[in-house]
């Protein structure tokens, strides 16, 4: 019995995910598309990840760090790649060859969803565009992720996360204030890619619901830049309503004060005072009740207008005690607060561990046979997400995929591998 069948037999004994039985042909790489397909995979979909037969997904080389292997040396599995590719089956295939394209067409004919992030027109020139594939599968949902969309003056451009963060406005409002010599700053993770993947996942789920009602597939056109502009949310609307450009405020909030980090004597902590009562309690804990009675700071509107005067005064008090002291005291009176944790503190936090946000899965190349991963935050009451498979090694599942979905024989697969059309993975 092959590994796909083993997985299916095991899964038959447990609760299935909400997308159980859905087949996704994943032609994407890097982060936006793989984020989307990992979410779909966690919800039970079968994800067939197509990779270059020799170098694989670009992110496999984006390290260090790499997963440490059994010999103690680094493997070819980067942390970046491992972050967004669990619950997938890797098929290494040469898309430049006619036979490789033919195999992809055959897989698309039995798939429910195709997702790709090639430049506009690249796949159509290979005969793998939406119109080409729906000719054999009119129920197909085909999701195209690009930097700038299928239309418009920038459609031909390649898109990268940092570029889109810059062009989409988020960098202009992130970083320390101008008067503190701050400069526009990108967010510390590839958030434009990640959010695009999440929007893409939602779009696919909506298209699946439409197909269930009508039987119709469709093409989804989604871009990093569009998604980046969409999640400017309140800051974007502040500009559209007022015409005033938002300023960089560091860790502060543009319309709520105090709502930012404050220094304790050991580390910073975050305070999110949401109303005037909480502000009064905050001042009471700090031992500066006179600042809550001061007419300059009585209401949130007053505090926003006079933040430059208020915040330095508050910091003179917070620096006197530890972050733990302040967070314990403030939490006791109902003032939202928390420490500024580094990642070691995050992944040892009892709440994070209780919620299953740090997981591990068996990995055949790992030094200890396991790979640590970040869990999925979705908690269904009836159809929980499942972690069925660690991020695959390159071409790990080529034989199983070709056998199951296209009924290829061992001889046919050996011939394809000998011709360089597919990568058969590890023996």
Query: What amino acid positions are annotated as catalytic residues?
Result: 193
Q: Respond yes or no on whether the N-terminal peptide bond of residue 258 is cis (omega within 30° of 0).
A: yes
Residue in the structure block whose two tokens are 């003179």: 316
DSSP secondary-structure letter at 58? G
Cα separation, 91 vs 93, in Å, equals: 6
Cα separation, 264 vs 268, in Å, equals: 6
| Pairing of the two strands 370-374 and 358-362 | antiparallel
User: Are the C-beta atoms of residues 388 and 6 closer than 8 Å to each other?
Assistant: no
Cα separation, 14 vs 142, in Å, equals: 30
User: Are the C-beta atoms of residues 168 and 232 closer than 8 Å to each other?
Assistant: yes
Annotate 131-151 with DSSP letters as a single string.
HHHHTT-TT-EEEEEESS-SS
The pair of three-digit structure tokens given for residue 157, joined into one six-digit string: 């451009």
Angle between helices 398-406 and 98-110 (to 10 degrees): 60
The pair of three-digit structure tokens given for residue 86, joined into one six-digit string: 């669990």
Q: Is 127 left (phi over 0), alpha (psi -120 to 50) or beta?
A: left
Of residues 180, 29, 1, the one with CA closest to residue 91: 29
User: Are the C-beta atoms of residues 90 and 392 closer than 8 Å to each other?
Assistant: yes
């Amino acid at each position: 019995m092959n590994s796909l069948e083993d997985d299916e037999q095991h899964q038959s004994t447990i609760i299935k995910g909400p997308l159980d039985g859905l087949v996704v042909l994943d032609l994407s790489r890097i982060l936006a598309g793989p984020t989307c397909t990992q979410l779909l995979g966690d919800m039970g979909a079968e994800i067939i990840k197509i990779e270059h037969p020799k170098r694989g997904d670009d992110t496999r080389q984006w390290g260090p760090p790499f997963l440490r292997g059994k010999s103690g040396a680094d493997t070819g599995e980067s942390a970046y790649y491992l972050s967004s590719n669990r619950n997938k089956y890797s098929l290494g295939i040469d898309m430049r060859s006619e036979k490789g394209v033919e195999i992809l067409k055959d897989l698309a004919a039995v798939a429910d969803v195709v997702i790709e992030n090639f430049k506009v027109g690249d796949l159509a020139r290979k005969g793998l565009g939406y119109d080409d594939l729906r000719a054999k599968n009119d129920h197909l949902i085909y999701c195209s992720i690009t930097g700038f969309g299928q239309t418009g003056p920038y459609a031909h451009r390649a898109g990268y996360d940092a570029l889109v963060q810059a062009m989409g406005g988020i960098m202009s409002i992130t970083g320390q204030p101008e008067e503190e010599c701050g400069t526009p700053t990108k967010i510390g993770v590839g958030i434009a890619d990640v959010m695009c993947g999440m929007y893409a996942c939602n779009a696919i789920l909506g298209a699946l619901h439409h197909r269930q009602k009508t039987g119709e597939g469709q093409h989804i056109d989604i871009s990093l830049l569009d998604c980046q502009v969409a999640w400017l949310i309140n800051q974007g609307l502040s500009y559209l309503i007022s015409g005033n450009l938002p300023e960089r405020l560091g860790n502060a909030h543009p319309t709520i004060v105090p709502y930012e980090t404050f220094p304790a004597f050991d580390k910073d902590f975050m305070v999110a005072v949401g109303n005037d009562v909480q502000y009064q309690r905050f001042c009471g804990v700090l031992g500066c009740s006179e600042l809550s009675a001061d007419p300059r700071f009585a209401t949130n509107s007053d505090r926003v207008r006079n933040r430059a005067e208020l915040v330095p005064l508050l910091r003179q008090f917070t620096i006197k005690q530890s972050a733990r002291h302040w967070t314990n005291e403030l939490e006791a009176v109902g003032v939202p607060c928390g420490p500024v944790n580094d990642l070691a503190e995050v992944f040892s936090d009892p709440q994070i561990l209780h919620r299953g946000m740090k997981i591990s899965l068996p990995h055949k190349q790992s030094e200890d046979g396991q790979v640590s991963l970040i869990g999925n935050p979705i908690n269904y009451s009836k159809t929980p997400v499942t972690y069925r498979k660690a991020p695959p090694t390159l071409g790990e599942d080529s034989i199983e995929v070709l056998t199951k979905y296209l009924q290829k024989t061992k001889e046919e697969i050996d011939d394809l591998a000998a011709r360089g059309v597919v990568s058969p993975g590890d023996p």
